[in-house]
Amino acid sequence: MVRFPFNCVKKNIDASTNVVILGPYNDSLRRPPPHTMSKIEELTDKVERLLLRHEEILRTKILLEQQVAALIQERDHLRSRLNATRTRIDDLIERCPPTESPPT
């Protein structure tokens, strides 16, 4: 093996006279292959669809929470009406005269 008297590793990297010849080759090495771009585009599309779906789900969640709140309010209202009706019925029962027991 031949040894140089100095270290020439990473020296004059850009000093090549073959830039015109090797330029397109070097450029192709820097660019990702076309199938990688299509995979990136597919991934981007999937992420965008997921974000849209997430927004839809959040809107649906808000609507469902509003419906639950409305149903809770309606339930509470119906419970109060039920309690008021029970109270009125209990009052009516107390006002009724006692019934006579049949002779045995």
Mean pLDDT of each 10-residue bin along the chain, 104 residues long: 54 55 59 74 94 97 98 98 98 88 67
- What pLDDT, on the 0 to 100 scale, is given for residue 15? 55
Residue 82 within a domain: yes
Residue 73 within a domain: yes
Residue 100 within a domain: no
- What pLDDT, on the 0 to 100 scale, is given for residue 82? 98
- What pLDDT, on the 0 to 100 scale, is given for residue 37? 75
| Number of structural domains the chain divides into | 1
- Of 33, 13, 32, 9, nearest in space to 22 by CA: 13
What range defines the domain where residue 39 resides?
A: 22-95
- What pLDDT, on the 0 to 100 scale, is given for residue 45? 94
Whole-angstrom Cα Rg for the chain: 42
How many angstroms separate the CA atoms of 48 and 60, rounded?
Answer: 18
What global pTM score does this model have?
A: 0.51
Residue 3 within a domain: no
Indicate if the alpha-carbon torsion angle 99, 100, 102, 104 is positive or negative.
positive
